[in-house]
């Protein structure tokens, strides 16, 4: 009879341990899930911030390049414009002088 009681007590203790262990595992999994989600959200936020900074930096670089190209184009066209203006000036003055 005592072996039966001892076996029953061992089984009861085992079941109690097993249930507690399952609850503990579930709680651990929940905590890990929450922490991982938090870390992922934080990483994504940092990544979004980095993308915004990169976007602004690329915009500044692109605008500077376009300004430089525009200045270079304006400088290269200055002699042509000056020659055209001189030619137009002569075209206006010569008919008055001749006529």
Q: What local confidence, expressed as pLDDT, does residue 86 receive?
A: 80
Question: HEC states along 6-39?
Answer: HHHHHHHHHHHHHHHHHHHHHHHHHHHHHHHHHH
What is the 8-class DSSP label of residue 1?
Answer: -
Q: What local confidence, expressed as pLDDT, does residue 73 receive?
A: 81
> The tokens of 99 are what?
């006529």
Q: What local confidence, expressed as pLDDT, does residue 99 receive?
A: 63
* CA pair distance 16, 10, nearest whole angstrom: 10
pLDDT tens, N- to C-terminus, the chain (99 residues): 688 888 999 999 999 999 999 999 999 999 999 999 999 999 999 999 999 999 999 999 999 999 999 888 878 778 777 778 888 877 777 777 776
């Amino acid at each position: 009879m005592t072996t039966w009681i001892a076996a029953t007590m061992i089984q009861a203790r085992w079941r109690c341990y097993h249930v507690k262990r399952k609850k503990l595992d579930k709680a651990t999994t929940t905590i890990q899930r929450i922490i991982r989600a938090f870390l992922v959200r934080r990483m994504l936020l940092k990544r979004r911030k980095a993308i915004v900074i990169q976007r602004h930096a690329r915009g500044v670089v692109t605008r500077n390049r376009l300004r430089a190209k525009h200045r270079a184009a304006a400088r290269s066209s200055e002699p042509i414009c000056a020659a055209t203006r001189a030619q137009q000036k002569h075209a206006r003055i010569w008919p008055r002088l001749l006529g």
